Amino acid sequence: MAATTISVDQDQFCCAVCLEVLRDPATIPCGHSYCLDCIEDYWSKTKAREPYSCPQCRQEFSPKPLLSRNTVLAEVVDQFLRSGVRAAAPQPSKPQEVRCGACAGRKARAVRSCLTCLESYCEAHLRAHEERFHRKAHQLVAASDRLREQLCPLHDKLLRLYCPADRQCVCSQCVKDKHKGHDTVPLLDERAAQQKKLRDTSLKSMQKLKDTEKDLKYVIRYIKHATDAVVDESERIFSKLIQSMEKHRAEVKELLRFQEKAVVGHSEEALEKIQQEMAELRRTNGELERLCHTEDHVYFLQKCRTLHFPTNLVEMPNTDALTYVMYKSMRGTLVDVQSGLEETLHKEVARISDKVSSLKDAGTPSNPDKNKAPEVQLNPEPKTRADFLQYYHDLTLDSNTANPYLSFSDGRRSVTTRAEPQPYPDHPDRFTRWAQVLCRAGMAGRCYWEVEWAGKGGVSIGVCYKNMSRSGDGSECKLGHNSRSWTLDCSSTACTFLHNKESVAVSAPWGKRIGVYLDFRGGILSFYNVSDGMLLLHKERVTLTQPLYAGFWVGLGSTLKLCAH
């Protein structure tokens, strides 16, 4: 009779618990089969939540079914293994169990290994071993199939020591021969030291990556805020040009967005690299945790050298140069273009294009070695007045926001509070109750400006978000009295920093000329007395979410003037 050939797949003979080919298969009442040991272990963990159930179909059994080896299925599995199909099938990565070396015939699972006898034992033979050698110091460890690796290949003695000089595990004979005169330490001590060092390195590496990831995300938001402020200012200027300039306005806007996309794209690539490094570090940490749970010191010390923890950081784009030059150069050029002819417009817009395009390299992190992440480089905070003047911002008061009792002079660079209202037209941005005015352009980079004030009424010098309330006489409309504004209140008798109705008295002497420094990205707002030298009055750490506008309150009879640089 001809033999029947049946095509089978390894998955048909795999245990759903251990994912290995069935060992001592047992079939439960629902018809599913498992390794006898696997289903016993599975049910032993579910005693507190009877009835017992099938791991696959979840059919419940009560009481617990009696299990026995399915001899027919075991023979089929044996024939399947001998057929060579398993060799052709992909092998799972789960390590094989260690078997008892003292068992005759079918070997039971080993529970411990003896480093003295270099043999692994099941529970029964382990008891026999302990009875035989109970007076001798045999070292027992977790069951391992790498016992020969515990011995010195030169002297066939147990590796008990570690030589830091040669970074090798050594035996007692090695210390007398090749490693004579070297300092050695017990394997357990060296493992503990290496394990602590690796974990500390892992934590430091992860923290650096997290900090860099946070900085990169902030840089991306910062660039977008800065670009939005530039686009907003360009829109304001272009709205006053004749209809023939509409084409050029679109070109400038498109150019700004293109450069924003280019710079943000580089930052996002760096962010993706950092996130990939973090994912790789998590995988390494997983390997480290698995390695730290092994009791095999030699295996640990041999494998721990292969662990890699990234320590290089990412260089930040030079956003200060990018946003400052973009804004100041573009705005200065467009003001000139506004008063020029069509021929001048073509020439100056071309100049803008060249200037903004040349900033691409200034805002892009240089990284010649693609395999090495560049280091973070942040511009230092300015110290001297000359340093601050590098970020000088030319402000212009916005008459559409001015309270009716404010009067402008000196080309709208000076403002005074009068007793009689001025004939300003109605505007939704105008402050209706408080004698306040804002500047036109929003700021989202490093900016510095100075003002002079005079008069008995005092002034408030500060910044606010564009969405600060304007209409009404409540605190939400007064600078420094809400969460959207920060001010320095100056008078002839007192000087106070104010935010959200919380005030801080300034003890340093203040003067009639005040300098204001804003670092949007760094979250720093500082006020200085620049009447004689440069004296810090107050420095505030702030968390900013949108561009800021310079704003002022002017008391009755007082005057405030924007200083030119």
In the block, residue with structure tokens 């010390």: 301
Q: What is the pLDDT of residue 368?
A: 46
Q: Which of 495, 550, 500 has its CA nearest to residue 525?
A: 550
- Run of H or E residues at 522: none
Q: In this structure, are residues 448 and 458 in contact, taking their beta carbons and an 8 Å threshold?
A: no
pLDDT along the chain (565 residues), means of 10: 51 75 87 86 67 81 84 84 54 63 82 82 86 77 76 80 88 83 85 89 89 82 76 72 69 79 81 86 87 84 81 68 62 65 63 62 51 50 88 90 94 91 92 93 87 94 94 87 95 94 93 93 92 91 89 94 88
In the block, residue with structure tokens 């973090």: 278
Q: What is the pLDDT of residue 247?
A: 73
Task: Specify the domain boundaries for CATH 3.30.40.10 within the chain.
Answer: 11-82
Q: Which one-letter DSSP state was computed for residue 436?
A: E
Fold classified for 385-562: Jelly Rolls (2.60.120)
CA-derived radius of gyration, the chain: 38
Beta bridge partners, 21, equal 14
Omega prior to 51 cis, within 30 of 0: yes
In the block, residue with structure tokens 């660039």: 223
Instruction: Give the tens place of pLDDT for each residue, 375-398.
Output: 444 567 888 898 899 889 888 899
pTM of the shown model: 0.44
- CATH architecture classification, 11-82: 2-Layer Sandwich (3.30)
Helix/strand/coil (H, E, C) string of 106-155?
CCCECCEEECCCCEEECHHHHHHHHHHCCCCCCCEEECCCCHHHHECCCC
Euclidean distance between CA atoms 352 and 253, whole angstroms: 11
Report the top-level CATH class of 112-188. Answer: alpha beta
Q: Which of 432, 179, 187, 394 has its CA nearest to residue 294?
A: 187
Task: Specify the domain boundaries for CATH 3.30.160.60 within the chain.
Answer: 112-188
Instruction: Give the tens place of pLDDT for each residue, 309-358.
Output: 777 666 776 666 566 556 666 766 766 666 666 566 666 666 676 666 55
Beta bridge partners, 178, equal none
Three-state DSSP state, 43: helix
Euclidean distance between CA atoms 450 and 443, whole angstroms: 15
Give buried/exposed letters for 277-315 (b at 16+ CB in 10 A, else e): bbeebeebbeebeebeeeebbbebbeebeeeebbebbbb
Beta bridge partners, 504, equal 497
Euclidean distance between CA atoms 238 and 236, whole angstroms: 6
Q: What is the pLDDT of residue 1?
A: 42
